[in-house]
Structure 1
Amino acid sequence: MAAARYHGIELDLRDFAAEPGESSPSPATLVRWLRDYGAVAKGMRLRWRYLVKLGYTPPVVLLFRDGSAGLLVRTDPEKGIVWLRDPLKGEGEPPVPVDELRLMQLWTGDVVLIKRRSDESESDAVFDFYWFAKMVLREKKGLRDIIFASMIVSVLGLFPAMIVMQVVDRVINYHSMATLVSLSGFVLILSLYEILLTYARQELMLIVTTRIDARISLHAFNRLLALPLEFYERQQAGEVLGRFHSIFKVRDFMTGQVMNTLLDMFMLMVVMPVLFYMSSTMAWLTLLCAGGIGLIVVIMLPVVSRVAGKMVRAEMQRGATLYETVAGIRTVKTLALEATRRAEWDERTATVIHWRLASQRLSNWVNTLVQPLNMFINRGIILVGAYLVLTDSDTMQGGALMAFMMLGGRVAAPLVSLAKLMESINEVTVSLGEAGAVLNQPTETYALTHGMRPVIKGALSFDSINFTYPGAANKALSDVNFEVPAGTMLGLVGRSGSGKSTITRLLQGVSRNYQGYLRLDGVDLREINLHYLRRSFGVVLQDNFLFRGTIHDNITAGRPGLTLDDVIRAARLAGAEEFIERMPAGYETWIEEGSTNISGGQRQRLAIARAVISDPKLMILDEATSALDPESEALVNANLQNLAKGRTMVIVSHRLSSLVKCDQIAVLDQGRVVDIAPHETLLERCDVYRTLWLQQNRHLEAAESSPSRGAARDDNHPAGGQD
């Protein structure tokens, strides 16, 4: 942790999860933990002679045999000593010099090297062709080797044509068996070299493209995770996924078509001088025909790209319909919406087919227009060459004609590929624009990686808070002022739209563009590291999502390093222990996708257990019990006092009966806090609260008053009595 802090990386020990059976953490486990926090870490084994030569380096972690570790801060190769510091002591503690003999008695030979990510700027850079080009150019060494191999393969590709020329002109014409034998041996050796080089080049391309693919995928997914929640709330999930997947079309273009075309251009650069040497007339004809093909493609480019863009957008809309149908399949089935969804799918499919057919027809037109020129390159050139052989045998011979035909095809192919590359650029530009509509949105990256990390106790202070949702005309919160000390159980009540959930959103840092000052333990919330803030909270929503996996995995989702005892304690606090123990597999019970094999109340209690397992100092329950059955709600409410011990709790609920035991209840109306006090005080002085209470508890008053009315009736009319 001390070595990571040197690079500005704050680690949370509660997140560390050792591998099963490890008595002390291995370098691989530590490296995996560090990488989860965005650090660049590497575990390795060093010998003393290499360790002592490290010189002045950032702190290096040395692992000791007893499971502890030390920080290597400096070395002196001449004296043969290294300076170590105890990571558990402060940075002001002076390091201790250690020689080889003393160190080797403790040190396992394992070290962990840590540094901050060098590509942090790339994680926030704009997704465009320049960004992709930078990703590709980071593989300079691999690209250099590929280019070198391609140049050699291109040169070797000339020899078959030259050998054919020699066979026709020398062997066949002069019936020279010796020349044939020597050429055969030469062909065999060249073929072997070409096979090996082609394999090596293909292997290098696979490695480079795989590394580029992995880097692009990681950056894109990290950017997706860094987008604020407000963005996802405004966008349709299916369209977000469709646009995100567009980036893989750009990836395939950059690592496939672009790279192959550039490699083909090397062949063109090698072949063209040879063709002009053989016959400048035929070379110019070949070049003009290939240029004509490229010109036709470029002319048709705007129309093709426009149709391709409409096809891409139509496919995204169809994908959004598919995702929405699958995600809401339970509602589709229960409300018998199959016909409605089928009609929408048919409409989307018809649009996709229309634009795909238009795109393919345009491509067919382009192919038809270029076919005469392509046929001339493949068939007409040989007639021109035969004419030159017949009319001027000194300039062109039969062997040279055969060689020219073999090499001429290699000229047209790269130029046609280059023209098609221009055609694909527009389609890729559309895909890049769609992906950029998602990935180029403002992210929370800076807030997630920078800011203060104070010790959180839970005192809250709202000072003149005003907040308006984007595009809204009215304020969601208007001049909100109140404060509560740490350890307070605070209830938030009010009519729908009064601003209760908005307050919880501000506390979680979901919305940060508010006016005024929201302080946590005296620190402005916007000055606190957002990742640290959210991990310090426990949040339970009205509709909680459980991941596909075991109950144990879901409860420890945010803290994978915690033990089964921690899981049981959290489940007991949430009132989930009793139903978990009744399940055949207990805490290893598998939860299906969508939590279809457990009830809504059980899902809610597991969410509460997941929130409390990290022992947060501040918990937010936003309508957490509204989806529970009466028995489960009573069980959770009974545990609220236990949950509240030692922490601040902010509870949003429409059911005022669940907030009676709160220390303070803030009553909101149209974005304003009209009163804040305990339950009994609010009943006496707050009209809004009293009205809400009477609306929800009118049946209790009727039940309490009915016996008295019955007793009065009995007093006035005794049984069996007469007037």
Structure 2
Amino acid sequence: MESTQDSGHSAPALARVFAAMNAARYHGIDLDLRDFASEPDEDAPSPATLARWLTEHGAVARGMRLAWPQLVRLHDTPPIVLMFHDGAAALMVRADPARGVVWLRDPMAAESGPPVPVDETHLSQLWTGDVLLVKRARDVAEADAPVNAGWMVRMVLRERGLLRDILLASVILSVLAIFPALLVMQVIDRVVNYASMATLFSISAIMVILSAYEMLLSYARRELTLVLTTRIDTRISLHAFNRLLSLPLDFFEREQGGQVIGRVMAIFKVRDFLTGRLLATFLDLFTLLVILPVLFWLSATLAWITLAAATLIGLIVLVFMAPMTRLYGRVIGAEMARNSVMHESVAGIRTVKALALERSRRAEWDDRTSQVVRWRLAAGRLANWPATLSAPLDQFLNRGIMLVGAWLILTGHSGLAAGGLMGFMMLGGRVAAPLAGMARLLESLNEVASSLSEAALVLNQPTESRALTAGIRPRIKGALSFHAVDFTYPGATARALDGVSFAVGAGTMLGVVGRSGSGKSTITRLLQRVSSGYTGQVRLDGVDLREINLTHLRRSCGVVLQDNFLFRGTVRDNITAGRPGLTMDDVMRAARLAGADEFIDRMPGGYETWIEEGSTNLSGGQRQRLAIARALVADPKLMILDEATSALDPESEALVTANLRRIAQGRTMVIVSHRLSSLVHCDQILVLDRGAVVDIGPHAALLERCTLYRTLWLQQHPQPPAVSRAAPAARVGGR
């Protein structure tokens, strides 16, 4: 449990936060106090602030105001957070309406402690009447559900209420659509033929009333449809991005960035289909079901002719559906390949400009574009055939039906009158369109199926979701041990780590050296659980790394890489990235420790200076010191520096190296470096070769007894230094 001082919150405020965390833990949701950030003007977090925090982390939370009779009746509910006047809170774990007593638990105390019974009189002196109700969100259970057609349907059906209202509005509008045609029949058959002015006024009044109802109902349906599509769009967007962030790092290292983005974006074509053409066709079906019986009542002959023509249009589309599917797949593949070129060119624009690669990149873009144009042209030409073949049938439905109807009237083959023919023409067009639309919907299904399968190639990859939410959260001290660890990268033939065993205590400054490919960075990847699938045991403070909650592990580690990415934003935003609850004092402390404060103070806006995309307004040394400050801001007990100084100029490297001993106070540090001069002050130096441990010990001892270390040192320092007496070696094992 974090201390009050460490968290930056008062004791009452902490009680409210811990009460919310305990309520969430009851539903299987583990939260981290460091993720919580209260509103600036709040002495203690309000129910709304806590509810917003819980909702962001997979729970459903709601603040309410209750009276005592309502509260005491909640006797079969999960723990409820009660807000107190002094800013603190308690957990109500049980209630007895018959005795008029509720049982409260102190959220700051051990959970094994017994709850305390409190009656209405005593509770009214403490309780504000505000409560926080918490339950598990359904989205958590769906977090790892495979993305497929069933998943998309379930996503839509979660809005059953809106779908029901839209369906009801569509049925009423379909019924209202019949009346204008019937009224036109009356105008022609009664008003015109008999010159009845009174009937004209009556029909006009009815038409105005019906038009007003139809206008209002159409507006309501459009509004409901807009809300429905917005909600579905939000759910799909959030789920896709969350799934993407849950994928392990090695997936992104294997796949091309442009391909990943292109495939994920393909899911939005599915979204457009669900909320666009599919919904419109679904609504048109109700019009068809309501109007079709009326058409048969007006003229069965014309109704059968209309159905036959519309069915022929559908058959024409179905014939071309299979070849269109193949061409749409080629189009999607060509577009993703072209998008990859765009992504690579933008991401590597510095290299493109530095090496004058514009011509080669332009040639590749032109080649990819020609492929897109080729397949789009082929798809467009093929799609032109069903449109051309169905054009005569479309024209027949619009014009030929009128001629056939006129012939039927003149020959007396049916009881159809002129007014009935006009009414049929008005309604017939609304029948043919849904039938043709259903056939074209099947055509769109092919493109949607291709898009969904492309998105699934990314979104259905194994995620880290369970590891990010499950597991223990021990207090990290920093003792590390590897025991007989073997690891091989996928597709590789040689082991990256071969029987690695060593151990260092908490607070140790450990250097890791070796030739290229000896497994140095693999050690750090395993410590962060970026790479998995190893055999043996990696322990942190005696706990198997695989049993620790992944989010807790990574937030307890500060990591600085050779090339660190800084986000577009202010200096302060970059230092506090992922730590919303930290204060300006925390930021300044981390900057001082990293040696970044001296150049930040010289910047025009200080800590509010804007960092441009790509950090173009910062030098390499400044970027690296900001990255170190970002890693230090949460005061991690384990720091990993993987070639953090190899790309720096000598002056910047000397400054960072000089700060390492200050940074190492009170924490374990794992420093991977090719430059052995930056590791001479390490407590222990681990020497690797071809994935195996060669030796481990202090710098002076390794110079005496380790041939490989001495060779590496002499390569960088031709004049051999004086060697002091060897220090005792740490425990080591391996092959």
- TM-score normalized by structure 2? 0.93
Q: Aligned partners of 2:22 and 2:204: how far apart in 1?
A: 68
CA displacement, residues 493-544 of structure 1 (integer Å, 9 cap, x when unaligned): 0000000000110110011101111111222111111111111111111111
Letter in 1 for 2:580: P
Where 2:266 maps in the other structure, the secondary structure is: helix
Residue 633 (structure 1) aligns with: 653
Of 302, 314, 330, which aligns to 1:310? 330
Residue 262 (structure 1) aligns with: 282
Q: How many aligned positions are there?
A: 702
Residue 181 (structure 1) aligns with: 201
Aligned pair 1:440/2:460, yes or no?
Answer: yes
Q: Compute the displacement of 1:342 (Å).
A: 1.2
Where 1:539 maps in the other structure, the secondary structure is: strand
Alignment of 1:418-567 (within 5 A): 418-567=438-587
Of 351, 365, 380, which aligns to 1:345? 365
Instruction: Give the unaligned 5+ runs of structure 2.
Output: 1-20, 723-735
CA displacement, residues 312-369 of structure 1 (integer Å, 9 cap, x when unaligned): 1111111111111111112111211111111111111111111122222222222101
Where 1:479 maps in the other structure, the secondary structure is: strand
Aligned pair 1:246/2:272, yes or no?
Answer: no
Q: Aligned partners of 1:23 and 1:176: how far apart in 2?
A: 78
Letter in 2 for 1:504: T
Of 173, 186, 201, which aligns to 1:166? 186
Residue 617 (structure 1) aligns with: 637
Residue 198 (structure 1) aligns with: 218
Where 1:143 maps in the other structure, the secondary structure is: helix
Report if the CA contact (8 A) 1:512-1:526 is conserved: no
Q: Aligned partners of 1:398 and 1:156: how far apart in 2?
A: 22
Q: Aligned partners of 2:413 and 2:445: how far apart in 1?
A: 45
Of 356, 371, 379, which aligns to 1:336? 356
Report if the CA contact (8 A) 1:3-1:60 is conserved: yes
Q: Compute the displacement of 1:176 (Å).
A: 1.8
CA displacement, residues 622-675 of structure 1 (integer Å, 9 cap, x when unaligned): 011112222222222122122112211111000011111111111110111111
Report if the CA contact (8 A) 2:299-2:414 is conserved: no
Report if the CA contact (8 A) 1:56-1:73 is conserved: no
Q: Aligned partners of 2:381 and 2:414: how far apart in 1?
A: 48
**Residue 394 and residue 315 in structure 1: after superposition, are their counterparts in 2 closer, same or farther (change >3 A)?**
closer
Q: Aligned partners of 2:214 and 2:95: how far apart in 1?
A: 50
Letter in 2 for 1:222: N
Aligned pair 1:683/2:703, yes or no?
Answer: yes
CA-atom RMSD in angstroms:
1.5
Alignment of 1:47-66 (within 5 A): 47-66=67-86
Report if the CA contact (8 A) 2:559-2:631 is conserved: yes
Moved more, 493-502 or 441-450: 441-450
Q: Aligned partners of 2:555 and 2:330: how far apart in 1?
A: 43
Where 2:463 maps in the other structure, the secondary structure is: coil
CA displacement, residues 588-640 of structure 1 (integer Å, 9 cap, x when unaligned): 11111111111111110111111111111111110111122222222221221
Q: Aligned partners of 1:37 and 1:539: how far apart in 2?
A: 24
Aligned pair 1:601/2:621, yes or no?
Answer: yes
Moved more, 84-93 or 661-670: 84-93
Q: Aligned partners of 1:510 and 1:71: how far apart in 2?
A: 38
Q: Compute the displacement of 1:153 (Å).
A: 0.5
Report if the CA contact (8 A) 2:58-2:140 is conserved: no
**Residue 394 and residue 512 in structure 1: after superposition, are their counterparts in 2 closer, same or farther (change >3 A)?**
closer
Residue 394 (structure 2) aligns with: 374
Where 1:673 maps in the other structure, the secondary structure is: strand
Q: Compute the displacement of 1:310 (Å).
A: 1.0
Residue 21 (structure 1) aligns with: 41
Q: Compute the displacement of 1:418 (Å).
A: 0.6
Of 294, 300, 310, which aligns to 1:280? 300
Aligned pair 1:35/2:69, yes or no?
Answer: no
CA displacement, residues 416-460 of structure 1 (integer Å, 9 cap, x when unaligned): 111111010101111111111111111111111111222221111
Where 1:554 maps in the other structure, the secondary structure is: helix
Q: Aligned partners of 2:502 and 2:235: how far apart in 1?
A: 48
Q: Aligned partners of 1:601 and 1:77: how far apart in 2?
A: 66
Q: Aligned partners of 2:121 and 2:311: how far apart in 1?
A: 74
Q: Aligned partners of 2:273 and 2:112: how far apart in 1?
A: 54
Where 1:487 maps in the other structure, the secondary structure is: coil
Where 2:617 maps in the other structure, the secondary structure is: coil
Q: Aligned partners of 1:259 and 1:337: how far apart in 2?
A: 47
Report if the CA contact (8 A) 2:30-2:470 is conserved: no
- TM-score normalized by structure 1? 0.95
Residue 412 (structure 1) aligns with: 432
CA displacement, residues 374-402 of structure 1 (integer Å, 9 cap, x when unaligned): 11111111111111111127521111111
Q: Identity over aligned residues, as a percent?
A: 68
Q: Aligned partners of 2:121 and 2:202: how far apart in 1?
A: 67
Where 1:469 maps in the other structure, the secondary structure is: coil
Q: Compute the displacement of 1:25 (Å).
A: 1.3
Instruction: Give the unaligned 5+ runs of structure 1.
Output: 703-723
Report if the CA contact (8 A) 1:488-1:663 is conserved: yes
Aligned pair 1:355/2:372, yes or no?
Answer: no
Q: Aligned partners of 2:359 and 2:650: how far apart in 1?
A: 37
Q: Aligned partners of 1:598 and 1:43: how far apart in 2?
A: 45
**Residue 518 and residue 39 in structure 1: after superposition, are their counterparts in 2 closer, same or farther (change >3 A)?**
same
Where 2:146 maps in the other structure, the secondary structure is: coil
Where 1:320 maps in the other structure, the secondary structure is: helix
Letter in 1 for 2:587: V
Q: Compute the displacement of 1:65 (Å).
A: 2.4
Letter in 2 for 1:59: P
Report if the CA contact (8 A) 2:166-2:221 is conserved: yes
Of 276, 280, 295, which aligns to 2:315? 295
Residue 144 (structure 1) aligns with: 164
Q: Compute the displacement of 1:21 (Å).
A: 2.1
Q: Aligned partners of 1:91 and 1:206: how far apart in 2?
A: 47
Aligned pair 1:664/2:687, yes or no?
Answer: no
